[in-house]
């Protein structure tokens, strides 16, 4: 009987610790948005007509991103 009560008490304390633990803060979306904003800022710094281009299968950290700059029409 004491063994059963000890086991139940141990399980109850374990669940209490698990439930009382703070939940981790999830900032994945904001990090991705910050990386995207940084990449767009770097791209815009190359010219007013430049825009960020990312492959659909590119990793989340924008390592495959590139800038495409449209040519301005020449004035003759």
Task: Tell me the average confidence (pLDDT) per consecutive run of 10 residues in the chain, 76 residues long.
Answer: 93 90 70 82 85 76 76 69
CB of 68 closer than 8 Å to CB of 47? no
Of the candidates 3, 62, 64, 72, the one whose C-alpha atom is nearest the C-alpha of residue 33 is 62
What is residue 11's predicted lDDT score, i.e. its pLDDT?
Answer: 95
> Is residue 57 in some structural domain?
yes
| Structural domain includes residue 35 | yes
**54 in any annotated domain:** yes
Nearest residue to 68 via CA among 35, 41, 47, 60: 47
Provide the pLDDT for residue 6: 94
Looking at the domain assignment, is residue 7 inside a domain? no
pTM: 0.48
Q: Is the separation of the CB atoms in 52 and 40 below 8 Å?
A: yes
Instruction: Give the model's pLDDT for residue 76.
Output: 60
Domain count across the chain:
1
What pLDDT is recorded for position 29? 66
Q: Closest by alpha carbon to 48, among 32, 63, 33, 70?
A: 70
């Amino acid at each position: 009987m004491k063994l059963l009560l000890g086991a139940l008490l141990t399980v109850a304390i374990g669940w209490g610790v698990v439930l009382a633990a703070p939940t981790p803060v999830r900032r994945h979306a904001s990090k991705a948005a910050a990386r995207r904003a940084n990449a767009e800022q770097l791209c815009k710094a190359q010219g007013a007509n430049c825009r960020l281009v990312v492959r659909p299968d590119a990793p989340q950290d924008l390592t495959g991103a590139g800038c495409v700059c449209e040519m301005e029409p020449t004035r003759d």
